[in-house]
A and B are shown apart, each in its own frame.
Chain A
Amino acid sequence: MTDLIRSTAAQTANAIASGEVSAVEVAQAHLDRIGAVDEKVHAFLHVDTEGALEAARAVDAKRAAGEELGPLAGVPLALKDVFTTKGIPTTAGSKMLEGWRPPYDATLTRRLKEAGVVILGKTNMDEFAMGSSTENSAYGPTGNPWDLSRIPGGSGGGSAAALAAYEAPLAIGTDTGGSIRQPGAVTGTVGVKPTYGSVSRYGLIAFSSSLDQGGPCARTVLDAALLHEAIAGWDPMDSTSINAPVPAVVAAARQADVKGMRVGVVTEFGGEGYQAGVMQRFHESVELLRSLGAEIVEISCPSFTYALPAYYLIAPSECSSNLARFDAMRYGLRVGDNGERSAEEVTALTREAGFGPEVKRRIMLGTYALSSGYYDAYYGSAQKVRTLITRDFDRAFADVDVLISPTTPTTAFPIGERADDPMAMYLADLCTIPSNLAGNAAMSVPCGLAPEDNLPVGLQIIAPALADDRLYRVGAAVEAALNDKWGHPLLEEAPAL
């Protein structure tokens, strides 16, 4: 192990298990890297130096005692600040939760700890996961390691940037409309939204409960698969958790073979608004899959053009209800309690001070869409569109094994460019939203740099619910063929920080 911070999670876990390196050395190398570059990148909101070293020491002690280590034992990870961590600050990128130390671990946090994963800290994100650039964080933006003046995607920009800056080999994101896949695409990393219900939402601070899904972020497809298996599985604490076996995603990533698979190209994703270099790399990916033995067919999903408007009714509606819990009574911020004001006045003053503009917009938009006079036209219609999108997917998957598209219409845009233009910002999730509405599985895998700006482009792969393994077969095949062609992983072309 010559370079501890550039190794994959799989390599690092093997090196720790074989005694070539200690988990403490690996953790320290990553903490040092964070110390050296995070002032520029700002991927982390909180670095838990003591907790990380303690977890690493526990792994080393287990090994010394001859106990068997799990497949990710001792591997460092960056955790999106939307999952609760007992005693460790959890803010969801909001002033509303500044300084909050949750009294419990999310199920996902607990599973990571049980797997011996070393949690380095909590990563920056758009406030309450609402955004596509991480600019909506109350704690300032994160820079894209490819060009620090550009956005790293969002809402999980901190997690993706931590991977691309070699601050961690693994990270966790949540994907409500693309918040894992879009940051993955614009930072040249891998991001997976597992099938809805396969990763527990217990301890995930809710934004839109019928859409939110935690998932793995990594620099390689195999690493994402190892993390996927560590976090997925039924949880009685989440009533929407699926009680079914986790698909064999690690085996699929190792298989990395698309021979005989039928791959559908979604015809609705392309044309106006799509950057030429993004489409060029996408078309090359289609040809690459064909050359690897996949059968390519064009598939029309006409309802997909209505996915974005449906999403911006459903997600704000659910958010307006979910965020009602921030009432200044039991935890988090309280403003204006002078002994004279009523609880209701204190709640309104606190929410005004504690929420940023995007959160306020969405709460009010959702309140509007759910109000009695408008319910049928807005929320009701959006729910019907959701049915039509699911039917389009069902029809498509009766014919093909996976669907593919660009992950995002453009590469990373400059910080500030869309900050006060909500509709322009929302377009970043055009291709990722349909999978959230239907609840199926989707991945973004790097497929090259756009020639016009030398910034990463992501290929999106979509599979039916509970067929997440197909994502990994296709993603790993694309990754292996492209790494062969380039002679190295894409991320090695990123400028030094």
Chain B
Amino acid sequence: MPGITREEVAHLARLSRLELKSEELDHFAEQLNDIVDAVARVSEIAAEDVPPTSHPLPLTNVMRADEVRPSLRPDEVLAAAPAAEEQRFRVPQILGED
């Protein structure tokens, strides 16, 4: 198994929306390598014919009745927002100017 390089950590950080500092990249590369080496053992016993388990309970698509119910109060929810305007969350620009 190839090791996790500094460049790979930078890529994972981008995917994870983490603006890592340069010194963090080296430190995490070393630690993630150790961890990945240790956890790769799972493939030793994961035979073809073993079905995967994603959850302890055999549940699929738990539904509730589609009825109007009281929701959280907008003023209480927006009180916890970093920025709000006109009863909406105010966010930084999502699309560029052009």
Contacts and interface: CB of A to CB of B under 8 A. Distances in A.
A in complex with B: yes
A383 B51 CA distance: 8
Q: Lowest 4 A-B CB distances belong to which pairs?
A: A439-B56, A383-B52, A334-B82, A381-B46
Contact of A390 (B45, B53, B83): B53
28 contacts: A100-B80, A103-B73, A210-B55, A239-B59, A240-B57, A242-B57, A306-B42, A309-B39, A309-B40, A309-B42, A312-B35, A329-B91, A330-B89, A331-B82, A332-B80, A332-B82, A342-B92, A343-B93, A344-B94, A360-B16, A360-B18, A360-B24, A363-B18, A364-B28, A367-B16, A368-B4, A386-B52, A422-B35
Interface stretch (A36-44, A117-125, A347-355, A410-418): A347-355
A476 interface: no
Contacts of A355: 18
B16 A364 contact: yes
Given A342-B92, A351-B18, A361-B32, A210 B56 contact: yes
A384 B91 contact: no
B66 interface: no
A328 to B, nearest CB: 6
Contacts of A330: 77, 80-81, 89
A360 B80 CA distance: 24
B42 A382 contact: yes
A192 interface: no
A312 B59 contact: no
B45 A388 contact: yes
A378 B45 contact: no
Contacts of A242: 57
B43 A197 contact: no
Interface in A162-204: 196-197
A437 B52 CA distance: 12
A320 interface: yes
Contact of A309 (B9, B41, B54): B41
B18 A352 contact: yes
B86 interface: no
B68 interface: no
Interface string B4-43: 1000110011011111110010001001101110111111
B79 A384 contact: no
Contact of A368 (B32, B52, B53, B54): B32
A352 B14 CA distance: 11
Interface of B: 4, 8-9, 12-13, 15-21, 24, 28, 31-32, 34-36, 38-47, 50-57, 59, 62, 64, 72-73, 76-77, 79-83, 89, 91-94, 96
Given A240-B57, A387-B50, A329 B76 contact: no
Contacts of B92: 337, 339, 341-343, 345-346
A378 B94 contact: no
A294 B7 CA distance: 57
B77 to A, nearest CB: 5
B42 A103 contact: no
A342 B51 contact: no
A477 interface: no
Contacts of B54: 210, 383
Contact of A351 (B16, B35, B64, B81): B16
Given A210-B56, A390-B53, 19 more contacts: A103-B77, A240-B62, A312-B38, A327-B17, A331-B77, A332-B82, A337-B92, A342-B92, A348-B19, A351-B18, A360-B20, A360-B24, A363-B18, A365-B32, A367-B12, A383-B54, A384-B45, A384-B47, A387-B52
